[in-house]
Amino acid sequence: MSGDSTGGLTPPGDGPGSGCAETDCADAAEQLQEYLSGELDSETIGAIEAHIHRCGPCLDAYDFHSALRKVVASKCAESMPGDLRSRLVGMLDQAASNPE
């Protein structure tokens, strides 16, 4: 990504090993996209919110992806072709699944 199209955001780069279980973080990263899309049930939402609040790297990831989605929605929704947009969303999903 180049320029300041994300509004000066920096991607999360801490990775695992910051004091929380890796499996929890992997689950949180997977569910983060669905969470941001509003596709989760209330029980899963509670679980991911609880994890985000106690896990710095996942909170960073949440902040990054939620802010990025807002930027994409507000700045790119009208001008970005649908296939490019879905490719970007796919990249975000991959980035969330592979924090390295």
Residues of the shown chain interacting with Zn ion in the complex, contacts defined by CB under 5 A:
20, 25, 55, 58
Which of 49, 50, 64 has the alpha carbon at shortest distance from 11? 64
| Minimal distance, residue 14 CB to Zn ion, in Å | 10
What lies within 8 Å, CB to CB, of 80 at 6+ separation is 72, 88
Of 20 and 76, the one with the shorter C-beta distance to Zn ion is 20
| Minimal distance, residue 30 CB to Zn ion, in Å | 11
| Minimal distance, residue 38 CB to Zn ion, in Å | 21
Of 63 and 84, the one with the shorter C-beta distance to Zn ion is 63
Token duo for residue 49: 């919110």
Residue-wise DSSP of 26-53:
HHHHHHHHHHHHT-S-HHHHHHHHHHHH
Of 3 and 17, the one with the shorter C-beta distance to Zn ion is 17
